């Protein structure tokens, strides 16, 4: 096993994002961070597609508001408007973990690389410890 980044050398996220996207790249909202604070609210899919043009096709498959919105149209979670209507419960996030596990189990690939946030992965792996920023962990399923 190589060191993180060894296959491409040390590259910034911006440099990787500028490369043409592989057709096997899938963007999933279900592995988003646990929406517990205003910092966990995402940017609209159209803004992400404009910022990362090499992933615009994949990002275009997301709903415009892809993050947890609380299910209440009168009190949405919206970073642009500075609104935080409701936190996502742990039970709601755990349902996303189960959805991802189901999605992953039904994939034909032998190797899947997924990027996400530590609280999501903590629940996915049924661990007590949070991953560190940029930590790489291998899961066998």
Instruction: Give the per-residue pLDDT at 84.
Output: 87
Total number of residues shown for the chain: 141
Q: How far is the C-alpha of 88 from the C-alpha of 42, rounded, in Å?
A: 13
pLDDT at 80: 80
pLDDT of res. 23 = 55
Per residue of the chain (141 residues), give pLDDT as tens.
233 333 333 444 455 455 554 557 899 999 999 999 888 888 999 999 999 999 999 999 999 989 998 777 777 888 788 888 889 999 999 999 999 999 999 999 888 889 888 899 999 999 888 888 888 888 887
pLDDT at 71: 75
pLDDT for 22 equals 52
- Tokens at residue 72, please? 């209440």
Q: Tell me the pTM.
A: 0.75
Complete DSSP assignment for 72-118: -TTS--BTTTTB---PPPHHHHHHHHHHHHHHHHT---S-------H
- Residue 83 pairs in a beta bridge with 78
30: buried, middle or exposed (CB in 10 Å: 19+, 13-18, 0-12)? middle
């Amino acid at each position: 096993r190589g060191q993180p980044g060894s296959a491409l050398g040390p590259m910034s996220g911006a440099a990787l994002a500028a490369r043409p996207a592989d057709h096997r790249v899938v963007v999933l909202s279900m592995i988003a961070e646990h929406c517990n604070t205003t910092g966990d609210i995402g940017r609209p899919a159209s803004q992400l597609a404009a910022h990362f043009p090499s992933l615009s096709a994949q990002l275009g498959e997301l709903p415009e508001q892809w993050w947890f919105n609380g299910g209440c149209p009168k009190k949405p979670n919206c970073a642009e408007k500075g609104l935080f209507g409701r936190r996502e419960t742990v039970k709601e996030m755990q349902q996303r973990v189960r959805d991802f596990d189901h999605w992953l189990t039904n994939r034909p690939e032998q190797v899947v690389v997924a990027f996400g946030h530590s609280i999501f992965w903590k629940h996915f792996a049924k661990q007590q410890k949070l991953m560190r920023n940029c930590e790489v962990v291998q899961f066998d399923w």
